[in-house]
Amino acid sequence: MKIFDEIKLDKDGSSEHLYIQLYKVLKALIMEGKLKKGDRLPPIRKLSELLKVNNVTIVTSYRMLEEEKLVYKKVGSGTYVALNFQNHENFFQEQKTPLIDQGHIQLEENAINFASATPSTDLFPVDDFKKVLNEVLDRDKGSAFGYQESQGYYPLRVAIKEYVATYKIVTEISNIQIISGAQQGIDIIAKGLLNHGDYVMIEGPSYRGAMAVFESRGAKIIDIPLEKDGLSLQDLEKKIIAYQPKFLYIMPNFQNPTGISYSLEKKKKILKIAEKYNLLIVEDDYLSDLNFCNDENITLKSLDHKDLVIYIKSFSKIFMPGLRLGFLIVPKLIYKEVLLAKHTTDISTSGLLQRALELYLKRGIWQQHIKYMSTQYMERFEVMVESLEKYMPQEVQYSLPTGGVNFWFKLPEPLSSKELYEIAVKQQIVFAPGHLFFLSSKEGSYFRLSTAAVTVSEIEYGIKKLSGLINELIRKQNHHSDQTNGYTPIL
Amino acid sequence: MKIFDEIKLDKDGSSEHLYIQLYKVLKALIMEGKLKKGDRLPPIRKLSELLKVNNVTIVTSYRMLEEEKLVYKKVGSGTYVALNFQNHENFFQEQKTPLIDQGHIQLEENAINFASATPSTDLFPVDDFKKVLNEVLDRDKGSAFGYQESQGYYPLRVAIKEYVATYKIVTEISNIQIISGAQQGIDIIAKGLLNHGDYVMIEGPSYRGAMAVFESRGAKIIDIPLEKDGLSLQDLEKKIIAYQPKFLYIMPNFQNPTGISYSLEKKKKILKIAEKYNLLIVEDDYLSDLNFCNDENITLKSLDHKDLVIYIKSFSKIFMPGLRLGFLIVPKLIYKEVLLAKHTTDISTSGLLQRALELYLKRGIWQQHIKYMSTQYMERFEVMVESLEKYMPQEVQYSLPTGGVNFWFKLPEPLSSKELYEIAVKQQIVFAPGHLFFLSSKEGSYFRLSTAAVTVSEIEYGIKKLSGLINELIRKQNHHSDQTNGYTPIL
């Protein structure tokens, strides 16, 4: 291919290693779309002759590309480009949970990614953020790189107090704790509050990353079943009495994975129950900014007059995951425990990024950005709804969320979403099988589709294809049932 | 004061809140040295009249400055500038451990800071880092803000493999795990390896931040006394047999707090013992780059042929603490546990900062920077040694480290370093009392001085003053003993 003839490596030794140079060039070709999925890379010997470098240089750079899943090897055949870079980045975002859960990932090629709940990188406000980063560096110089207070950069906490006020949350600056992303928020709350053997309550189903943290603390997890308007109050109260849990972890708006939003009435009742039993509630608000259908998705924290709600907010979904920034609003009661846990976890969050985010929030740029993100997600949401109505077999149960990016489905029994997953992966469609979100893996018929990392055209194509696969499974099942019925002796 | 007449606030409402504007102006005046320690801020009413703003605006901005410890209130007298900004930043760096340990900090004014083991912000390579940051943003755009792989950005891991090779450590890219600072390294190792009730071994004395993590995991901590050339081998072997610990946590070069470096012989013997009992060793290498006296300070990891050493390296001390970046070299045996722990802790370290550091390392700029840092620290080290020889009372025991920033002292019994601390704080000298570094707080006569955040002139002045205070304490003690002797009836 002509493309490889044009590769120039800098061999005078003053530049970086040859294998890294080559890795970069090839990666750039893939990123720019000049090398496409399925394109074969030249054989080792051929490229080494062409570029006049050692075989090992080629082998090493191919291996680097392979480790990044940009290329894959076919035994006896060669090395091939695995996927477009853009999709690759998306794929790795939230796909990690199933990845870890399954021990390995089977995908080697480009795929439509309904598994990731993280926005595509093309939605990020890079230019704006570059501006504020440089302003911070010019203004603060070395101070921007010093340790920041464990609780967080004070002016950022001031800015966040104003930010949450726009969401009707009234709090003090001293209650705001900066964190390196929502996952760390869950981690330090667990560290601050949970001891070995303590009970903690979650929704069933819930976020796997939270369960892993609680398990790691040696806590015992109790799940409360979700109803259409939020968790079962009867069950909640019964289990509070039975287990006296340290806290309840919930996502009252666009719950992950179900997309359910709690009714206002239920939010208020849960707060009353919390008050009655002096129960702390951890509210993981990962997406309440993306509300498409009504104005009722207020946070539990904004209704919390007794200071019993620990509020977790990530900026990963609405701004940029790579920032690793978020914040907690911590009730006075447990403020010290959480601060100490933050300190022992990583001392403090990057001061540079905190200072940049402060400027970004203060300038009001975030409001435009959230508007932009909402428009983008809204479009995906609408196409998703249309496609589902058009293609999804009637036998599959689901109810539409009022916002966010997650859709939750139930296959007709006895179909298994793991089985569907394995078939779909081969057709280059990935999603999250439901057993990942349950405490026990018995719940085999559910699955989650996210619209965060798929384009509008991918949504339509993907839902059509996935629906076809489900239809096939249903047909096979029926056929199989018929056969079975036919052979079953009447008792 | 004329300075306040010149303050201009933007009142047209399009800009930021007035109290934040005022806070920024005043902070800038302090940072630039236009307002100095002891300067009184105008009374609330007076400034509100002068600037034609609400009283509350003034109160709020003063309170913000106060929360940052830039000013302090004297009851009935007014608000005063507390310290120079530069020193303030330093002060908060490592001072946090004693801060948390004691519940509160008594300092309100500028102080000579022998407590912080973190470099002054003026040593940071800000301009170089700004360059690489911008290059990354131009090159990678949105990808720089996407989630990074939990194990870390691949090219950074390649760069680190080369970086550690210059320290004679041979490892694979797959063994390198990126972390958000050394504290997180300790935290995820503990999460990956320690269960409730497990034993873990440390040096006595050791780093408080590590003990806090192990305690938080519900582990039982056993300490091994330090000798002049490293920990006691006899004690080590005895306790391995008795407790079967999950791992041993040590700092073999310029140990914190003692400054001790293990002899090469002892390093080798410890590795043999580890091999014999199949014991994992966590080597926290926070400063081996700063070696002033000999070439023997090689890392344990470079001698580790059985893959039993988990190596922790922070970039905080030699580059910039605010980066919150470091790495682990993880033995194959426990690779999965550590990766999973990293994932549940904060999913991944900021991709933007990882990419910037990769460029910074690749360019070789770090070598020049470490040379520069070494020269700076070497000068402080020499002045420290001279000052100690000149002023420190003979009754105080200490031995000189061969590098690093920590010096360890023992007061003559029964003098207490806590008592010395309280007297010294009033004289604007802070240091770390020794009880912070021991499992039991019985060890009351030790203390640590660090030269990381003090200037050459502060070192000389500070050691002279501190020595004077110790001399006074010794004199008082002797006087007191004489008196007591005088009154004690002969038995």
* DSSP per-residue string spanning B168-210: T----GGGEEEESSHHHHHHHHHHHH--TT-EEEEEES--HHH
Q: What is the ipTM of this complex?
A: 0.75
Partner-chain contact B322 A100, CB within 8 Å? no
Residue B440, pLDDT score:
81
Residue with tokens 């908060």: B92
Specify the CATH number of the domain A126-363.
3.40.640.10
Q: How far is A208 from chain B (nearest CA, A)?
A: 10
Partner-chain contact B187 A344, CB within 8 Å? yes
Residue A16, pLDDT score:
72
* Residue A119 Cα to chain centre, angstroms: 9
Beta bridge partners of B179: B326
Residue B157, pLDDT score:
96
Any idea what DSSP says for residue A280?
E
Residue B85: closest CA among chain A residues belongs to which residue?
A143
Residue B489, pLDDT score:
36
Domain-wise residue ranges, chain A:
2-82, 126-363
Quote the Cα angle for B339-B344-B345, to 5°: 95
pLDDT band at B34 (very low <50, low <70, confident <90, very high): confident
Distance CA B79, CA B65 (A): 10
Ramachandran quadrant class, B227 (left: phi over 0; alpha: psi -120 to 50; beta: rest): beta
Partner-chain contact A68 B154, CB within 8 Å? yes
Q: Which two tokens stand for residue B189?
A: 């190792």
Q: Tell me which residue in B68, B123, B158 faces A154 most closely, judged by beta carbons.
A: B68
**pLDDT of B14 over the 80 cut:** no
Nearest to A148 by CA among A186, A168, A178, A115: A178
- Which amino acid, one-letter code, is at A121? T
Distance CA A458, CA A464 (A): 10
Any idea what DSSP says for residue B403?
B
Residue B355, pLDDT score:
94
Contact present, A317 and A219 (Cβ < 8 Å): no
Identify the CATH class of B2-81: mainly alpha
Partner-chain contact B346 A183, CB within 8 Å? yes
Specify the CATH number of the domain B148-364.
3.40.640.10
Alpha carbon distance, N-terminus to C-terminus of chain A: 69
Q: Which two tokens stand for residue B72?
A: 């302090």
Element holding B23 (H helix, E strand): helix B18-31
Torsion sign, CA atoms B297, B302, B308, B311: positive
Q: Tell me which residue in A20, A184, A352 faces B155 most closely, judged by beta carbons.
A: A20
Quote the Cα angle for B100-B353-B307, to 5°: 75
Partner-chain contact A16 B362, CB within 8 Å? yes
Partner-chain contact A341 B216, CB within 8 Å? yes
Contact present, B253 and B262 (Cβ < 8 Å): yes
Q: Which two tokens stand for residue A351?
A: 């001061």
Partner-chain contact B195 A212, CB within 8 Å? no
Residues of B in contact with A123 (CB under 8 A): 142
Per-residue 3-state assignment (H helix, E strand, C coil) for B432-478 = EEHHHHCCCCCCCCEEEEECCCCCHHHHHHHHHHHHHHHHHHHHHHH
pLDDT (average), residues B122-129? 86
Q: How far is A186 from chain B (nearest CA, A)?
A: 8
**pLDDT of B486 over the 90 cut:** no
Q: Which two tokens stand for residue B198?
A: 């497990």
Q: Tell me which residue in B134, B195, B321 faces A145 most closely, judged by beta carbons.
A: B321
Question: Helix (H, G, I), strand (E, B), or coil: what is residue A154?
Answer: helix
Residues of B in contact with A148 (CB under 8 A): 322
Residues of B in contact with A57 (CB under 8 A): none
Burial grade of A145 (CB within 10 A; 0-12, 13-18, 19 or more) = buried
**pLDDT of B487 over the 70 cut:** no
Residues of B in contact with A17 (CB under 8 A): 162
Distance CA A372, CA A356 (A): 20
Residue A360, pLDDT score:
92
Residue B73, pLDDT score:
82
Residue A269, pLDDT score:
98
Residues of A in contact with B146 (CB under 8 A): 89-90, 93, 118, 121, 124, 320-322
Residue A15, pLDDT score:
63
Cβ–Cβ pairs < 8 A, chains A and B: 206
**pLDDT of B396 over the 70 cut:** yes
DSSP H stretches of helix in B69-175: 85-94, 96-102, 126-140, 154-165
Q: Tell me which residue in B23, B148, B162 faces A322 most closely, judged by beta carbons.
A: B148
Residue B287, pLDDT score:
76
Residue A422 burial (CB count, 10 A): 12
Residue A191: closest CA among chain B residues belongs to which residue?
B216
Mutate to test the interface with A, among B328, B344, B372 (most CBs of A within 10 A): B344
Identify the CATH class of A2-82: mainly alpha
Residue A4, pLDDT score:
86
Partner-chain contact A346 B183, CB within 8 Å? yes
Distance CA B233, CA B227 (A): 9
Q: CB neighbours of B127 closer than 8 A, spacing ≥ 6? A: none
Burial grade of B487 (CB within 10 A; 0-12, 13-18, 19 or more) = exposed
Residue B139: closest CA among chain A residues belongs to which residue?
A28
Partner-chain contact A123 B142, CB within 8 Å? yes
Q: Which two tokens stand for residue B448?
A: 């640590």
Residue A91, pLDDT score:
33
Residues of B in contact with A181 (CB under 8 A): 346-347
Query: Which has the minimum average pLDDT: B184-193, B427-436, B460-469?
Result: B427-436
Residues of B in contact with A154 (CB under 8 A): 64, 67-68
pLDDT (average), residues B447-462? 94
Distance CA A6, CA A69 (A): 24
Residue A481, pLDDT score:
62
Tens place of pLDDT for every residue, chain A, 491 residues? Answer: 678 888 888 877 656 778 888 888 888 788 767 788 788 899 888 898 888 888 878 888 888 888 777 888 877 778 888 865 433 333 333 333 343 333 334 454 478 999 987 777 778 888 898 999 999 999 998 888 877 889 999 999 999 999 999 889 999 999 999 999 999 999 999 999 999 999 999 999 999 999 999 999 999 999 999 999 999 999 999 999 999 999 999 999 999 999 999 999 999 999 999 999 999 999 999 877 777 776 667 899 999 999 999 999 988 777 777 788 999 999 998 989 999 999 999 999 999 999 999 999 988 888 888 888 888 889 999 999 999 999 999 999 998 998 889 999 999 989 999 999 999 998 899 999 999 999 986 778 999 999 988 999 999 999 999 999 999 999 998 876 654 443 333 33
Partner-chain contact A20 B147, CB within 8 Å? no
Listed in order, strand segments (DSSP E) in A262-383 are 280-285, 309-314, 326-329
Q: What are B305-326's pLDDT values in tens digits? A: 999 999 999 887 777 777 889 9
Listed in order, strand segments (DSSP E) in B256-347 are 280-285, 309-314, 326-329
Of A331 and B40, which is predicted with more confidence?
A331
CA dihedral angle for residue B114, residue B222, residue A348, residue A346, rounded to 10 degrees: 140
Q: Tell me which residue in A20, A145, A183 faces B344 most closely, judged by beta carbons.
A: A183
Q: CB neighbours of A5 closer than 8 A, spacing ≥ 6? A: A50
Residues of A in contact with B158 (CB under 8 A): 20, 64
Residue B343, pLDDT score:
93
